Structure formats: C-alpha cells, structure tokens
Amino acid sequence: MKLSDSYDARHVRPRRPGRWRWRFGAAVAALLATFGILLAMAGAATLLGRPPALGGLNDTPTDASILLALGLFLLWFGILAWRICRRRLRRPSDLTLAPHLLKKRG
C-alpha cells in the first residue's frame, strides 16, 4: 500500500479528552487527603487529652473518635482518588489495539 504525502499518524490515534479534568480531580483528591489528616489529628489530640482543637465539636471522647474515623476515611479516599487520577494522567497515548491481538504473557 502506497502512503501518500498527506498521511499523518496522529489521525489514526483516538482523540483523548482534555487532561485538565484529571489534574483538577487530583488536586481535589489531595485537598481531601489533607483535610482528612487535619481531622484525624484533631480527633487524636482530643483522645490523647489535649484541649479540643475544634471548639465544641469534639468535646467528648465519642465525638473525638468519630472525627478520627472520619479523618482516616477521608485520608484513605483522598489517596485512592489521587492515585487513580495520577494513573490516568500517565497513561500512554499510543495506538490502541484489541485485547485479543496483544501478546500473551506467561
């Protein structure tokens, strides 16, 4: 097959959506993780006997343990979302092949 001079390999590749969505998602996920760290530290400080850092929000040990659990959950969710966004950002933009055409491993 003869290739013409106007052939451009970029037209074969599928168009990808903008990367700004994944960058914005990674930034929001990092903020969630940071907020989770701060909540967990405030809950742990109250449980360890330090004065409450959030005023009346964590006066009792029950409230402090809820803040600690919520902070750890936000930290876990933020790290998970950040890793997913970073993985999507680093995905190569090569030509896509059908899975059955790829070389088998093992």
Model confidence at 45: pLDDT above 90: no
Q: Around 12, how many Cα atoms within 13 Å sit in the side-chain half-sphere?
A: 8
Which residues, 6 or more positions from 54, have their beta carbon under 8 angstroms from its beta carbon?
42, 67
pLDDT at 46: 85
* Residue with more model confidence, 58 or 85: 85
Q: Which pLDDT score is estimated for 17?
A: 63
Please classify residue 14 by burial: count the beta carbons closer than 10 Å to its beta carbon, then call 0-12 exposed, 13-18 middle and 19+ buried: exposed
| pLDDT tens-digit series, residues 63-90 | 889 999 999 999 999 999 999 999 888 8
- Integer Cα distance of 82 and 32 in angstroms: 9
Distance CA 44, CA 77 (A): 19
CB 78 within 8 A of CB 34: yes
pLDDT at position 22: 87
